[in-house]
Structure 1
Amino acid sequence: MLNANSKSKIFILDTNVILHDHTCIYQFQDNDILLPITVLEELDKFKRGNDLINFQAREFTRLLDEIVGDELFNGGKTLGKGKGKLRIETGKPFSDELKASFREDIPDHRILAIADYASKTYPDRKTILVSKDINLRMKAKSLGIQSEDYKTDQVTDENVLDKTITTLENFDDRLIDLLYEQGSFAIEEIKSEFKPEANECFIFKGNNSSVLARYDAKADRIFRVEKKTAYGIKPRNAEQTFSLNVLMDPEIKLIALTGKAGTGKTLLALAAAIEMHKSFDQILLARPIVALSNRDLGFLPGDASEKINPYMQPLFDNLGVIKHVFNPRSQEYQKIEELQKEERLVITPLAYIRGRSLSNSYFIIDEAQNLTPHEIKTIITRAGEGTKMIFTGDLQQIDSPYLDMKSNGLAYMTDRLKNQDIFAHINLLKGERSYLAELASNLL
């Protein structure tokens, strides 16, 4: 039995928490953890496969094997200094209330039965069911069982989610003139309390003129941002101008481009990559495959390539936009064809990238809002010398049932890496696809 007199909490973990983070049992400080036997049964179904959830299931099983012992089923086994105990709890009978509310005998309801049992067995301790499944959390609350999301890797600063370009009105015209004359000025030239983040972008507006600028933390200077074209793609607003500026800066190795559909995130990243193709051995474009209507790829007709193509089509569409800027006989058009033929420009599912070491590559990861924090970390740690990584995504369009605006990998990365001198984040707000697309995005 767990210590009934302890003042620490008891956390009961759902399967999806382990599939999200296999190290989760070490994230609850000195509180105790109950692991329903049903969770182990469900993990068995996920151990085979190449997706990240399969990796998480296998890693957790290995981790559990290292701490195995009779104590896991009898009183609980300590997880280390300053940590609580871990106990595997066998199935418990459904209470009358649970039977009346949820008649179906499914894993979720067996987990609820154990949570119900624990809350009644240890009335002096707070029992909390941890799940990334909103429906299961609501079911628990309907039975009077406290439940919450797994919060360890959630965003702590919500301001990163709706970041906008800072506009400073009534700015010193003398400093604006300096930017146009010299291209930069030292940060101490600004006399007021001004503490920008690394690579933060600004619109300075004076009485007579205005200028786009970015703060370089390494040099501790403000630099003017010029409007540049990338392989025929011209920026249409200040946000896109800033985006191309950081995308083509060799000193910035990691970039997050967020924004709603039609703001040009992927198009700008791809145009910048092709513009800089001489500096990199390979340009890679990848996106996670999120199955439609919870159906696996096997449901789709055709071979592996034909199954994957529909998911990759948006990337080919963006490449088509760039190609159509040029005449098919032009050198620029032929260069894109050549890069594809030589496999120096590759569009591929993200699953095909995992496990590789990427050196001197320009790597664009689209739809990154559908990645978990652990997936983001796994991808970034593949970056070898000379590699530049760009993550693009719309935080309003998350397709994964277990991720939200605070827990997805794109938001997590942006929150944790802000103010690092090799990282930049641009949030694009203005849609440029068409007036119709912008209207639909804003009103529907």
Structure 2
Amino acid sequence: MLSKIYVLDTNVLLQDPNSIFSFQDNEVVIPAVVLEEVDSKKRYMDEVGRNARQVSKLIDSLRELGSLHEKILLENGGQIRIELNHRSFHELQDIFVEKTNDNRILAVAKNLSMEELQKEDGRPVILVSKDTLVRVKADALGLQAEDFLSDRVVEIDHIYKGFLDLYINSDNLNRFYEKNELLLSEITNHPFYPNQFIVMKDALGGSASAIGIVDKSGKKVKRLVFNQDHVWGIKPRNVQQTMAMELLLRNDIPLITLVGKAGTGKTLLALAAGLFQTEDLGTYKKLLVARPIVPVGKDIGFLPGEKEEKLRPWMQPIYDNLEFLFNTKKPGELDAILAGMGSIEVEALTYIRGRSIPDQFIIIDEAQNLTKHEVKTILTRVGDRSKIVLMGDPEQIDHPYLDEYNNGLTYVVEKFKEQQIAGHVRLVKGERSGLAQLAADLL
């Protein structure tokens, strides 16, 4: 006998089309109204539309195995069926008057639950939804409700920071300064990832300390290569910014992820490093800066003008940082500089699909608003001899189906942390202003 019945909300399928295979050997029930909602999203030209089309194809392929309104056995031992009955609104009509789609899904779960309670061997019915209010409503009706967590890349307490504090004796610290490297096996038995930073401190409380980076083999910690006083007038102001600049300037690490709250310096550091390597060193032919167009608050609708004019409001945070780096003071001065240089391109992510991008320093800002599929699309566009920097704040997400633990940026951080070609740093300290830091912490 199957142990549980899971009733899926539409948002679970639209977030992860393969979610129906995530419930082991239990029974998965999809209310008919969910199929209607999925069908209404199929024409969307975004990630939601793509997932809706994928769900449709997946359920259609299951028809070959049997009748969907009865039960179909899945490979993982579970079962799935489309629920056409149990739609009665009788139990909910006094509580929720309107017959919205959410309430219809709740009605199916409630009626199934009541039916199971009347059986001797009745199974628990659990509603699975990404919508907080649907779970609250379910709780008010006496229904079990859960968030869908299988799409999470990492557990809450284990998000990779990219660095670690390590207390070692002063002899080892002195040896590190003399030889510029240490064998990790001599100072700790803690496992490390390639390109992970170690902040080494005196175990006896002395003031001596050092920052090292784990080599590609993961067996040695070495001194940082970056030794310039500043890059395009930007000097790292704290330990994590020093780590970030090290990764940004290293040619042997083509994938960088930077995570941090607003004001920690992610965009400014990346732009400075990109301009230095594009304009001064000539390592890359072009600096490409892109960000997803996801509005904060109410969307302002269609904008007049050419593509550049339409993009300007969305890309203004990038232009603000460029104005600071170029030290421009007059209106239009930055546009004239960028037009004259020709090697800096500010673009919306909408236009990146289908491109191949070689010999470029690519910065993707606000990457926390990308889904796993969108991040894959971007990374598979990166051509030979290019370097890509993904950055953002997973605590500031404007996408309806993403959270801190299942967004594209966190996905890349976790999937690439063991790879030799990738480096990551979580920036901790805000450097914009005392007010900005306090607001990021308090609000």
Give TM-score scaled by structure 2 length: 0.86
State the partner residue of 2:47. Answer: 52
State the partner residue of 2:21. Answer: 26
Name the CA shift for 1:334/1:271 in 2 (closer, same or farther; >3 Å). farther
State the Cα deviation string for residues 91-127 of structure 1 (Å, max 9, x = none): 6434433112211111111111121222233442222
State the partner residue of 1:99. Answer: 93
In 1, the alpha carbon distance for the partners of 2:57 and 2:283 equals 42
State the partner residue of 1:111. Answer: 105
State the partner residue of 2:392. Answer: 393
1:415 maps to a residue whose letter is E
In 2, the alpha carbon distance for the partners of 1:217 and 1:178 equals 21
Task: Give the deviation of 1:263 after TM superposition.
Answer: 0.5
In 2, the alpha carbon distance for the partners of 1:121 and 1:373 equals 39
Q: In the alignment, is the contact (CA less than 8 A) between 1:37 and 1:90 conserved in 2? A: yes
Whether 1:350 and 2:352 are equivalent positions in the alignment is no
State the partner residue of 1:410. Answer: 409
2:183 maps to a residue whose letter is A
* 3-state SS in 2 of match to 1:256: strand
State the partner residue of 2:2. Answer: 7
Q: Indicate which of 157, 182, 186 corresponds to 1:185.
A: 182
* 3-state SS in 2 of match to 1:217: coil
Relative to structure 2, which stretch is displaced further, 430-439 or 156-165? 156-165
State the partner residue of 2:150. Answer: 152
* 3-state SS in 2 of match to 1:167: strand
- Give the paired residue count: 428
In 2, the alpha carbon distance for the partners of 1:28 and 1:107 equals 23
Whether 1:141 and 2:172 are equivalent positions in the alignment is no
State the Cα deviation string for residues 303-325 of structure 1 (Å, max 9, x = none): 47344432211112122221118
Name the CA shift for 1:432/1:27 in 2 (closer, same or farther; >3 Å). same
Q: Indicate which of 277, 282, 287 corresponds to 1:283.
A: 287
1:238 maps to a residue whose letter is V
Matches within 5 A, 1:236-385: 236-277=237-278, 278-293=282-297, 295=299, 299-303=301-305, 305=307, 306-324=309-327, 337-339=339-341, 341=342, 344-385=343-384
In 2, the alpha carbon distance for the partners of 1:172 and 1:165 equals 19
Task: Give the deviation of 1:240 after TM superposition.
Answer: 0.4
State the partner residue of 1:436. Answer: 435
Whether 1:38 and 2:42 are equivalent positions in the alignment is no
In 2, the alpha carbon distance for the partners of 1:102 and 1:440 equals 39
RMSD: 3.0
* 3-state SS in 1 of match to 2:91: helix
In 2, the alpha carbon distance for the partners of 1:273 and 1:30 equals 50
State the partner residue of 2:173. Answer: 176
Task: Give the deviation of 1:327 after TM superposition.
Answer: 12
Name the CA shift for 1:90/1:244 in 2 (closer, same or farther; >3 Å). same
Q: In the alignment, is the contact (CA less than 8 A) between 1:323 and 1:333 conserved in 2? A: no
* 3-state SS in 1 of match to 2:409: helix
Report % sequence identity: 39
Task: Give the deviation of 1:428 after TM superposition.
Answer: 1.0
Q: In the alignment, is the contact (CA less than 8 A) between 2:162 and 2:424 conserved in 1? A: no
Give TM-score scaled by structure 1 length: 0.86
Q: In the alignment, is the contact (CA less than 8 A) between 1:133 and 1:401 conserved in 2? A: no
* 3-state SS in 1 of match to 2:246: helix
1:202 maps to a residue whose letter is I
Whether 1:63 and 2:58 are equivalent positions in the alignment is yes
* 3-state SS in 1 of match to 2:13: helix
Structure 2: unaligned runs, 5 residues or longer:
none
1:144 maps to a residue whose letter is G
1:121 maps to a residue whose letter is E
Task: Give the deviation of 1:394 after TM superposition.
Answer: 1.4
Name the CA shift for 1:156/1:365 in 2 (closer, same or farther; >3 Å). same
State the partner residue of 2:164. Answer: 166
In 1, the alpha carbon distance for the partners of 2:3 and 2:177 equals 61
Relative to structure 2, which stretch is displaced further, 235-244 or 303-312? 303-312
State the partner residue of 1:3. Answer: none
1:290 maps to a residue whose letter is V
State the Cα deviation string for residues 185-217 of structure 1 (Å, max 9, x = none): 3334x3443433322212223446322211113
In 1, the alpha carbon distance for the partners of 2:253 and 2:187 equals 28
In 2, the alpha carbon distance for the partners of 1:333 and 1:220 equals 48
